[in-house]
Structure 1
């Protein structure tokens, strides 16, 4: 077994701890069902013996029939309970793994999600986590039952004939041996199947998100062909998995049938008098022979079920490889901090010698950036595309960690702070505000879920949300679609600003806060920001002159460096990079 496979198997076993009780209950119920199989075989063999050999009247067999009916009923209940318990075990593990994955994705932050295809991430969180269900619900309990049940049934057979018992025990290993031989490549086949599914999910999502662009550039036919190729690859991978599963089932059935036939031959020869061994010196009765014959298929049943569930193991191993890859990725430095802010009322930010590159060997996004922002001051950040503005914002938010240099918050290193504690002190509005499916009011309350209605209304007024909300059929209770469907970009921007106003954080980071707004709305929103920013630490990324004039200081960035800084009026008359940017 390869090292990665061993690690994945160890990971799967470790995750079973969260459902240990349900798995143990599943095993116990499976063993109880096996014991009830012995009872069924016993009662049925006695009934047939009584009818065929002893010609017993119906009344004499009433007790046997009652026992058989009770055994069948109790076994059915135990089987149902076992299935329910197994499903609960799988569901519990899936929920725990999914929460762990979501926590990891959140901890790694937007810098990670921007590098990954959304469809592939969704595939891991949904399809591949679902792929763990069979391992915990079926395979893992069966791994224990495959030892317990055959030994229990063999003990019952040994009570009648030690030769038949030995025959069962001798032929039992053939089934798992040949199952393993047939399914040796099942893990790699399942892994390729999952990778194909991830590619297909990611491709479908990309096409759906870019449908308008594809139509405008008349590339719909080419993308349809690409989808057909991806789907055909997924179909081939699926058929490969099914081929291994069906071949394993055929091998299991063949050897189980062969072994049962050997037991039947032994019993037949014993009845004919050719074999006189293995019966403890007593002639074998019809009831005893029927009892052994009825138990023989059930003796191999746990082995056959384990073989049938072997593909669940292969599927879980393939899923575990992908899930572990996501869980083991590096976390930003802020993710491990535990420190608290000593004075969150006023926050002073100091950046010294910040260097950062997204990948080794690529051009650095930041090269020795140093700046200081004090409470009550607004710093405006300018620069062309790729200057490093968004990277600096990402560092301040704690989504990424500098390769060199440090960020101090009230004199304490940012990477030593608790992430939740720090982000509660920060209000952020990005270029593409994210709104969730729900009402306008629910989206506003993301900033402060327990805010009073008066504060919510005031924040909505300051950001200009009430201007368009009054025209909507249900005001702030009007539902909006995912990603702000139903609102213009400017309206979505105002909702995001109102959310930040409601949060009332001491640090305010704004990335083009008035993008998409008309001149009148821009003026009123800037008035709201200016009122709100009093006593706060503010950094805004902008290219709009109206925003710049309200800033206390300007920083101009180019190729990851701050190349010019000063007050707006002074820079406008200096004839430097700032003036050239504003002129362009």
Structure 2
């Protein structure tokens, strides 16, 4: 079950809500850590007892064979518990990161391609990969260690207090100083980690923009300036990273200082107590066994706090990453006010009922608008730039939900989308075609290419449909890319085909071939909605809408179009 983002008032609460879902694995990691602490106390007690029996009791090594074997068994059990602690923590972290990444992807899908597309792809990739992975140390190591930093020192304190309450008092006085200074340093580390994640997101987007625009930069002789800008952005990230590391090292230095001072005080007390120079309190009752055990346990008293300090920067990194992910999850996802899918009258595919659509910073771009699309219909939408043609197609496709009014679609409606810049991936022709039909056979792919007017191109390619394309369809002309997108439409068997300026920036010969392919789609009985100003495409329509300022200015059907 996913934590409700709306109830997560802060990154801490959001991370804690995810940790609750894996409390069994986290509890197992903590239990294994407690066992490690108990075995450590046992190990130190055995060592102190062996030394005491050898030096004071005069026992031979052979007489202490059982003690040495017990010590080996304790060491083996301790190693096994440490392994169990690590495995349990990693399993909890893996499951939580998987759930969080799924939550982010589900939210992006709910936002739709329009609103998700407003965010830079480089920054999104950074959030889905780097920022999610930054949570690993927090869940796998910091959270279990947070419990151990209380339970294990308390257990050691009780053992030391039983042996010598004055030595235990020295440990108790030093213990609160460590988490106090860790918290003070941690507040600065959290802020620096937020800045660091923001910087790396900007760096990802900055570099990706320069790579995508390398041809334009070369054309205008701006490659040197672009390289300098990337170097400056990377150097800014380097400085932020070094500042974060300095804070992390400062946290460790503070802990080591107070731990060393406390251990030194305990060592001085035990030494002078054994020599008889201190007769206050329980000092005169110290023996080699009790004194040595106290000295051995003193570093172990601070060890859980040392480990917590090592992982404290994991907490700061996780809070910084969670802050960015919560900002993404806080992006509004508008649910349709009407039923998204429902039973419509026979032959009706999509209906809009007084639907409106607004974009951030632009206000209302469409509506109120009422429209019904029938099966087999060819609708042409025209109007000046900014009239809302693309917004209407996005609304019909369900890429966005109306702010007001409702969109109703036939249950199981299959939709195909094609605009003037079709999305092509780095891969073969077959890979690009199978985006629309993953199970399509090779003969299906070739037939779709022929119907889209690419048979001649296919015949000239040395590797046929296995010919590799570069990023964004590199290797194809604009017209060939458009017809490849049309081939995907043929493969999709979609009931509703939405086309946004499909012949823009094409030469006359390529336009004619694309239009010929669209005619074939219409003859198959597909419903076409085309946003265009092209006369030949407008002649295909049996209904036409003219938009202006987001509303219908004029519409015509049948014979009225010809007139």
Normalization by structure 2: what TM-score? 0.90
Superposed displacement of residue 164, structure 1: 2.4
- For residue 151 of structure 1, the aligned residue among 154, 159, 163 is 154
Say if 1:440 and 1:479, in contact at 8 Å, map to a contact too.
yes
Say if 2:340 and 2:408, in contact at 8 Å, map to a contact too.
no
- For residue 194 of structure 1, the aligned residue among 187, 194, 197 is 197
- Which secondary structure does the structure 1 equivalent of 2:324 belong to? helix
Say if 2:278 and 2:284, in contact at 8 Å, map to a contact too.
no
Structure 2: 5+ residue runs without aligned partners?
1-5
Aligned length: 557
Superposed displacement of residue 299, structure 1: 0.7
- Structure-1 residue corresponding to 2:125: 122
Q: Distance in 2 between matches of 1:337 and 1:570?
A: 33
Superposed displacement of residue 456, structure 1: 4.5
Q: CA deviation digits over 1:559-580, x for unaligned, max 9? A: 434334336985676xxxxxxx
- Structure-1 residue corresponding to 2:387: 387
- For residue 216 of structure 1, the aligned residue among 202, 219, 237 is 219
Larger mean CA deviation between 212-221 and 256-265 belongs to: 212-221
Superposed displacement of residue 251, structure 1: 0.7
Alignment of 1:207-246 (within 5 A): 207-246=210-249
- Structure-2 residue corresponding to 1:581: none
- Which secondary structure does the structure 2 equivalent of 1:543 belong to? coil
Alignment of 1:83-162 (within 5 A): 83-162=86-165
Q: CA deviation digits over 1:81-102, x for unaligned, max 9? A: 3223322322221121111111
Query: How big is the alpha-carbon RMSD for the aligned residues of Structure 1 and Structure 2?
Result: 2.9
Asked if residue 182 in structure 1 is aligned to residue 185 in structure 2, the reply is yes
- For residue 506 of structure 1, the aligned residue among 485, 495, 514 is 495
Structure 1: 5+ residue runs without aligned partners?
411-420, 574-584
Superposed displacement of residue 49, structure 1: 2.4
Larger mean CA deviation between 159-168 and 383-392 belongs to: 159-168
- Which secondary structure does the structure 1 equivalent of 2:300 belong to? helix
Q: Distance in 2 between matches of 1:220 and 1:437?
A: 24
Q: Distance in 1 between matches of 2:228 and 2:443?
A: 55
Alignment of 1:29-428 (within 5 A): 29-276=32-279, 279=282, 283-334=285-336, 340-342=341-343, 346-359=347-360, 362=362, 364-409=364-409, 424-428=413-417
Q: Distance in 1 between matches of 2:185 and 2:557?
A: 75
Q: Distance in 2 between matches of 1:520 and 1:264?
A: 92
Q: Distance in 1 between matches of 2:238 and 2:510?
A: 53
Larger mean CA deviation between 504-513 and 226-235 belongs to: 226-235
- Structure-1 residue corresponding to 2:3: none
Say if 2:499 and 2:529, in contact at 8 Å, map to a contact too.
yes
Asked if residue 462 in structure 1 is aligned to residue 451 in structure 2, the reply is yes
- Structure-2 residue corresponding to 1:580: none
Q: Distance in 2 between matches of 1:15 and 1:466?
A: 53
User: Would the alpha carbon gap of residues 472 and 67 (structure 1) be closer, same or farther in structure 2, given more than 3 Å must change?
Assistant: farther
Q: CA deviation digits over 1:133-152, x for unaligned, max 9? A: 11101111111111111122
Say if 1:347 and 1:537, in contact at 8 Å, map to a contact too.
no
- Structure-1 residue corresponding to 2:528: 538
Alignment of 1:476-555 (within 5 A): 476-515=465-504, 522-533=511-522, 534-555=524-545
Say if 1:146 and 1:302, in contact at 8 Å, map to a contact too.
yes
- Which secondary structure does the structure 2 equivalent of 1:365 belong to? strand
Say if 1:142 and 1:305, in contact at 8 Å, map to a contact too.
yes
User: Would the alpha carbon gap of residues 148 and 363 (structure 1) be closer, same or farther in structure 2, given more than 3 Å must change?
Assistant: closer
Q: CA deviation digits over 1:377-431, x for unaligned, max 9? A: 2011223332211111111122223344444446xxxxxxxxxx66x52121122
Say if 1:431 and 1:512, in contact at 8 Å, map to a contact too.
yes
Larger mean CA deviation between 179-188 and 298-307 belongs to: 179-188
- Structure-2 residue corresponding to 1:414: none
